[in-house]
Structures are given as C-alpha cells and as structure tokens.
Amino acid sequence: MWSKRDRVLAVLSGEKPDRAPIFEHLIHDGILERFGAGRIATGDFAAVVRACSRCLDLCHPAATPQEPRVIEHSGGVQQVIERWTTWKAPEPLRGEAAMIKQLHAEIEAAEAWAPSAAAQRDFCRKVEATNRAAGDMVYIHVGAYFPILPFDIEQGVYAYMDQPELTRRWNQAMFQKLLRENETMPPVDLGPVAICWNDIAFKGKLLYPPYILEELFYPHLRALVELLHGRGLKVLFHSDGDVTEALQRLVDCGIDAFNPLELSAGMTLETFQEICGTRVALAGGIDAVDVLARGTPKVVTEKTRALIDRFRGAGNLLVASASGEVDNSMPAANVLAMYETVWDYGKY
C-alpha cells in the first residue's frame, strides 16, 4: 500500500508510483467545505490543511481565510484583502534620489538579517501543528520567492538601466539573505519537497530579457536548488505565463518538477515533454480557463484521462490545475471530476 509521501517522492525521483498524485494550491470554498466540515472560519488554518489532506497528495503552502477589507497605505496606495488573496496597487513611481535611498536601505536590511530564536520557535510550532493536521499528505513547508529586480517590474527595469551596479548589489544581497534563511532552518520535519517561485513570464513571452535572467536569476536558482538537494528536499519550481523559452535553463538548474504549465498562456504539453523528457515532473496540465472554469464535468474527465495517458509511460506527473491554483472561479463539479478521474483512471 503506497503512502502519499511514497507516491510523491517516486514521481519526483524519476520513478513510477501506483497512481498519479494530485498537487494543488487549493483555495476553493466548495471543495474545502466538501472535504472539511462545512465552511471554514476566518483564520482557521488547520481546518484548511485537514480538508486538503482528504483530497491532495502534495499540498502547496496553504492560505488562511481572511476577513475582506481595504487598508490605506501612505501615498494613497490601497491594499485589498479578499478571503483567499491580497492585492496591493503599484507604488507611485519614485524619483531617482528616492529610488537610490530605498535600494541602499533594503540592501542594509538584507545584509543585517539574522535568524531570530523566537521566530524559529514559532516556525517549529507551526510546522509541527501543520504536520498533525496534514496526516499522510505531503505539505510543503519550505517556500522561496526569488527576487530578480527591486520594486515592481517597470520600476525595477528603470533601476537596472539607471543604477546597474546598485541593482546588482540589491539582487545579490536579497539572494544571500534567501540562502541564509534556508541554511538556518531549524531541525524540524519539513517534509521532502520545497517550492521556489517567481513569475518570469506572461502570455506568449518572458517578462524579463534573457540576459537579465542569465545574470540575476538562473545562477541563484541553481545555487538554492543545490542547497535544498543537500538537505534532502526535492524542488518544484513555479512560474505563471509562457515559460517555454526559459524551460531548458530551468531544467539545467536542477529542478525536479515544474508548475503549472499554463496552457492558456501558450505553453504546450508536447513542448514540455520534448524539453524535459522524464528528467523533470510536471505538476499541472489541466487547463484552468477552458476546461476547469468553463468546461463541463465530462470535458474535465476527458482532458484528465488524456493527460494521464500522455504521462502513463514514465509517470512523471502530478495532476494539477494549469493556473497554479484551484479557486472559486471553477465549478466544484469540475474540480471533483478531475480528482475522481485521477483516483480511478490514474492508477498505473
């Protein structure tokens, strides 16, 4: 009898499990209610994890339901907090002097960072409580967002063009802080999987010129993957958008799985398999727009079966939405059709 951990590790180690595992960032009230005990109350993180454990094999770092509200920040910037997500309007464009001052301040703060004993104790308590709620499901505790440029993309490009050396210092300082955060994680059961992410693409193309990724991103990703592998963790990399142009370089960085293969942005299963072969697992593959959100349970079942058949030979597949999440835009019947097809038809 395979455990969920055995199943996930088999896929991420290039082996074939008993069936395709399911991976997801699950923020769908209807599905969480079905697999939990009714509507989950604001702030009840453990209830989210317990509900996920009844339908997922591998769980993205879970969200906690929030009380919707709007927070006003200085300069008229609004932060909108919804039940499952938080959005903040872009900061106003800074003048060069203000930009330089902020970059220096962020570099100094990053270079001065050191782990706090109290924060580490809190982290350990949360990991242990989450593991109790997760049961046999593999929960991802280790997550690393990769900074490439400061500010938002528009202002980051301005910073890189106007202050290239300062921007490179910022990038290096942020990465070294990220390394220290992962090097100093306390000895607690973190599970076997980590996730790294940055949305490096959008519909049809990369967000960043390739030379910026070559200088400021790929070397850092490779170094962190090596560190995490040294700690016994498999690494799943996430980016929305059409990452086709960068996919070979991500493989070269040593990732074990890629998520989510956003089909509606221009990625294709054929190209993924041509580039990755069986070296990298796919965590995704079910179109979120035309299938999960706009399709019918019959269409979802057909597409899920076809995806499983495409990867049946090697088994390097974790079935998931191609949007990086399952959310309330998708009819619950469609999501259930995907899961039930995997549980039945996904057996190897």
Kindly tell me if the per-residue pLDDT of 283 is higher than 80. Answer: yes
Sequence letter at residue 26? L
Q: Could you report the per-residue pLDDT of 251-279, keeping only the tens digit for each? A: 999 999 999 999 999 999 999 999 999 99
37 — pLDDT class (breaks 50, 70, 90): confident
The two counts, helices (H) then strands (E), for the chain are: 13, 16
Token output for 227: 């560190």
At 34 the pLDDT is 96
Please tell me the pTM assigned to this model: 0.96
213 — pLDDT class (breaks 50, 70, 90): very high
Pick the CATH number of 4-64+115-345 from 3.40.50.2000, 3.40.50.2300, 3.60.15.10, 3.20.20.210: 3.20.20.210
Least confident of 7-11, 35-39, 275-279, 295-299: 35-39
Rounded Cα gap, residues 234 and 175, in angstroms: 20
- As a whole-number percent, the residues of the chain with pLDDT over 70 amount to 100
Q: Could you report the per-residue pLDDT of 151-192, keeping only the tens digit for each? A: 988 889 999 999 999 999 999 999 999 999 999 999 899 999
| Strands, sheet with 78-81, edge to edge from the N-terminal-most edge strand | 69-72, 78-81, 86-88
Kindly tell me if the per-residue pLDDT of 76 is higher than 80. Answer: no
Kindly tell me if the per-residue pLDDT of 55 is higher than 90. Answer: yes
Binning the chain into helix, strand and coil, the percentages to the nearest 5 are 50, 15, 35
Q: H-helix or E-strand containing 196?
A: strand 193-197
Region 45-56 average pLDDT:
98
